[in-house]
Amino acid sequence: MEFRELIKYRESVRNYDSNKSIPQDVLNRILEAGRLAPSAANRQPWKFLVVTSAKMLEKVHECYAKDWFHAAPVVLIIMGKREDAWTRRYDGYNSLETDLTIAMDHLILAAANEGVSSCWIAAFEPTVLRKALELKDEEIVFAITPLGYPGESYQPGHAKNRKAISEIVEYL
């Protein structure tokens, strides 16, 4: 898909076909896009957790109680360690969230390019998720997304309500 069309096409989906799995080669291409994402000082401070087993999906589902989330066959979790990310020496700014945002954006755009739907979720319960994944203290979950094919009743093409370019761009 042409990139501009991909950006217009991609939307958050909250309706998944629980009976349709994602082929491994498709999942691999999505994950490769995340792997290739740029990061500050090329530190690549991320880890992508791909949850597909029924047992782990059940545990992970506890962190976000929406039925549509539970229908997706895959949950992708993006996490990292602050100590692995670049830190600006002048003021201590740490790039972890920025780096993980870029990787997640690559992942969800690659998914859309493959016809796989996603929905970037930050409103999960971190304590529940940390327990389910048995994370170490320094491991930070940044975002999660279900991955799957849209359900039969899904209606694509909800208009994206975006500000006009003149409202957000200022030439200096």
What tens digit of pLDDT does each residue of 59-100 get?
A: 999 999 999 999 999 999 999 999 999 999 999 999 999 999
**Domain spans of the chain, in order of start:** 33-148
Query: Could you give the residue ranges of the DSSP H alpha helices within the chain?
Result: 3-9, 24-35, 54-61, 67-71, 96-113, 126-133, 165-168
Q: What pLDDT score does 159 carry?
A: 60
Domain 33-148, what architecture?
3-Layer(aba) Sandwich (3.40)
Give the pTM. 0.94
